[in-house]
Amino acid sequence: MRRIRAGAALGSTVLCAALLGFSSSPTHHAELFSAHDPVEFVLEADWDELDGDRGRESDERPGQVMWTSPDGEEFTIPIEIKTRGNFRLQKSICFFPPVRLDFPSAGTERTVFSGQDKVKMVTHCRDRDSYEQNMLEEYLAYRAYNLLTDKSLLVRPARITYVDTRGSSEPITRMAFLIEDEDAMADRVGGRIMDVPGAPPSHFHQNQAALMYIFQFMIGNTDWAVTEFHNLKALGVGRDFYPVPYDFDWAGLVDAPYAGPNPRLGNLIDSVRERLYLGWCNRAIDYPSVFDRFKEKREAILALPGSVPGLSERNRKRAVGYLEGFFEVIDGEHAARIHIMSKCRN
């Protein structure tokens, strides 16, 4: 997979010239992200050493994944682990840092990790059930977007036993989820990730951009931006560009204890549970057809909380209720105009 770099916005002459020479075809995604049942494995590393890696440019540390196949065959895969992220990398926020697993080019054959390179992992943040529930609610957000478009990052739940090679802490077992590598996603849909810092909203496929805007409204997320690409990647497929969102832990659907409204919004909302539409205005957007996409997936989206492994009954009901509130908005033409269409930004 090759990326196309440009220092300017998506409409630059250099980028357009690069696009003319690019061609690709969709590929099938790997086994790891072809199912939704939890993948179980042991993750062994020096967690004290990783706990000290709280900088943006952390080192890769040695570790290993121990996985048992359905027929009982045991595999040990040497990997590199590095901490990642920004906000959740702060120890005052997450005692347990988010990490990335770097798999070797050989040695994963006949395992569920076959074909994987770099896989991001979202962890429980703190060793408490409530934080584990928040993580599962973020997984739910990714799954909801997967239902709406294939131009999204696939996820897989995992049940992981963390073993400290120093032996200074007892093993713990917690739920987590794995995120498809962005370049692998681009390969899967026959596209490429655009390595640019931002773009004018008008340069995206407008109905797909609206789908992303309304999805962020559905989950109550204001922690994203298009023009400077905050929690967003640009995907090029053919001659079109698509926004691909990620990191939903500040969404109202998740309601993490550390999350609050985007400071740039001033006093427009008081809580992440309040929805605020942040989409950009464009006459090319066909809102009724975009709303229809959500309505077509209504039953599947509302059924998702019940399918998330480990999500408590209380959190399941809370998630369903929150998502139903969104559908009440788009079901009524007046409500949709008041809360979404008339709120677009110029």
Q: What is the pLDDT of residues 116-144, one digit of tens each?
A: 999 999 999 999 999 999 999 999 999 99
* Domain boundaries, position 111: 31-183
pLDDT at 15: 39
pLDDT band at 19 (very low <50, low <70, confident <90, very high): low
Q: What percent of the chain has pLDDT over 90?
A: 78
Is residue 2 included in any domain, yes or no?
A: no
228 and 96 housed in the same domain = no
Is residue 23 included in any domain, yes or no?
A: no
Among 18-22, 58-62, 182-186, the least confident range: 18-22
The phi and psi torsions of 100 (rounded to 5 degrees) equal -125, 135
* Residue 69: CB atoms within 10 Å: 11
- Its pTM stands at 0.92
314 and 217 housed in the same domain = yes
pLDDT at 16: 46
Q: What percent of the chain has pLDDT over 70?
A: 91
| Mean pLDDT across 152-168 | 95
* Residue 70: CB atoms within 10 Å: 6
113 and 196 housed in the same domain = no
pLDDT at 18: 40
| Mean pLDDT across 290-305 | 98
pLDDT band at 4 (very low <50, low <70, confident <90, very high): low
pLDDT band at 337 (very low <50, low <70, confident <90, very high): very high
Is residue 164 included in any domain, yes or no?
A: yes
201 and 129 housed in the same domain = no
Statement: residue 64 has pLDDT above 70: yes
Closest CA to 98 of 131, 64, 68, 130: 131
pLDDT at 202: 94
C-alpha to C-alpha distances, 47 to 50, 91, 164, 179, nearest whole angstrom = 5, 13, 6, 21
pLDDT at 194: 95
pLDDT band at 12 (very low <50, low <70, confident <90, very high): very low
pLDDT band at 3 (very low <50, low <70, confident <90, very high): low
Q: How many domains does the chain have?
A: 2
- More confident: 93 or 325: 325
- DSSP-derived secondary structure letter, 341: G
211 and 311 housed in the same domain = yes
pLDDT at 302: 98
- DSSP-derived secondary structure letter, 115: T
DSSP letters of 95-113? SS--EEEE--SSS-TTSTT
Give the bridge partners for 79, in sequence order.
63
Is residue 143 included in any domain, yes or no?
A: yes
pLDDT at 22: 53
Question: Pick from 152, 183, 214: which residue ends a domain?
Answer: 183
Statement: residue 107 has pLDDT above 70: yes
57 and 80 housed in the same domain = yes
176 and 106 housed in the same domain = yes
Q: Which long-range contacts (CB under 8 A, 24 or more apart) does 105-111 make?
A: 107/77, 107/78, 108/77, 110/69, 110/73, 110/75, 111/67, 111/69, 111/75, 111/77
Average pLDDT, the chain: 91
Is residue 17 included in any domain, yes or no?
A: no
- Distance in angstroms between the alpha carbons of the first and the last residue of the chain: 35
121 and 62 housed in the same domain = yes
Question: Pick from 183, 217, 244: which residue ends a domain?
Answer: 183
75 and 109 housed in the same domain = yes
